[in-house]
Amino acid sequence: MGEGAALIEIRDLVRTFGGVRALDGVSIAVAAGERRAVIGPNGAGKTTLINVITGEIPPTAGVVRIAGEDVTMLRPWQRARKGLGRMYQRNELFPPLAARDNVALALAVKAGPYRPLERVPSTQPRAADALLERVGLAGREGIPARELSHGERRQLELAVALAQAPRVLLLDEPTAGMSPAETARITELIASLDRGLTMLIVEHDMDVVFRLADRIAVLHEGRVIADGPAADVRGDVRVNEVYLGKAVATA
């Protein structure tokens, strides 16, 4: 894979918290259309990695590129405009607003939000409802986000991220806190999304990872210790030792 094709490229990322190196020279390139998973034990730096990509946490050193453009100095909202959509590990929704209005806020940003004298486009509610139906929330459009079940809120979180029409979807533990049935449902939902949509998935459930990812990078103590096609990583002895073995042992 040529470097020029990378939609997301991070190079030599370092992020320290106090004396701890949460990211210690991480380089990963995600090609357009690829579904890449990042796995690793707790504390490996996965969420920090996503936060550095989106700009919520500035890196201590290193570069983040989106479609070849250096965005390291850009603010989170500017990076979002470059095509980053994100599903947070802990839902970041608008609790009192109806599910439809949660999605509508994500849709509205494309048209430009700084128009105090214009009306909300009449097509917006329908577009929002269509997205809600896509994630399995048909019939729940008018319910405030705070009154939805946890599983439904995860679905809404996904709908909000999709409403941005992102080029890259960053999924931070999409199945966090879900029952096995809910996990299976949202996994299939994500798997069924447009193949052209690039994904970066952080997930600890290995069944989900192998179902969704084409390629897998393994993060351990802030470093990438393996990176390759999903099948290869599954067979990698070191990975099994530091991560899978440990996960089995603690499970």
Which CB, 118 or 194, lies closer to another protein? 118
Smallest gap from Cβ 71 to another protein, in A, equals 13
**Residue of 212, 203, 89, 101 lying closest to 154 (CA atoms):** 89
Smallest gap from Cβ 68 to another protein, in A, equals 20
Which CB, 75 or 238, lies closer to another protein? 75
Which CB, 162 or 208, lies closer to another protein? 162
Which residues are near another protein by CB under 8 A?
A: 54, 56, 75-78, 80-81, 84, 86, 88, 92-97, 101, 104-106, 108-109, 111-120, 160, 164
Which CB, 66 or 233, lies closer to another protein? 66
Smallest gap from Cβ 5 to another protein, in A, equals 24
Smallest gap from Cβ 72 to another protein, in A, equals 17
